[in-house]
Amino acid sequence: MCYGITIYGQSSRYILHSLQRLQSAIVRHMQYSATREGAEVGHIMNINQLYVMRKILNNFKDIGEWERVDHSHATRANERGVFKVARYNNKYGQRRNEVSLRQIFNKVHPNILTSTRTKTFKENVREWVLANID
């Protein structure tokens, strides 16, 4: 399910719903469970969570080059160090890589982005994704 997730993860809800149903069926089959509750056991990420996690891990190195929100007065965005996101008027603009990446990184807690060890960073990202992304 992870192969190519950064490409098909931005697909329409209809396609993602079909993939999510397939993933749940696979998990149920692996657990020999005939009920739907079997797919909820453990810390198995759904398609959207896999997409967000891969986007964060694959693009973490690039955030130093992104422009941050900078106001002359104190704002919540300025305190958090939020990245500037280009304005868009349609779904195409919203799905552009630079827009979706910055929106994802703006949601991530700043303490996670300051991790120095790779293993700790990956663990923190996984925990945050499981807790905050549906």
Total count of domains within the chain: 1
Query: Residue 78 has what pLDDT?
Result: 52
* pLDDT tens track for 10-50: 777 888 888 888 888 887 777 775 555 544 545 678 888 88
Q: What is the pTM of this model?
A: 0.70
Contacts of 7 (CB under 8 A, 6+ apart): none
Query: Residue 39 has what pLDDT?
Result: 47
DSSP for 34-46, please give it. Answer: -SGGGGGSSS---
Q: Which domain holds residue 16?
A: 5-132
Burial class (CB in 10 A: 0-12, 13-18, 19+), 105: buried
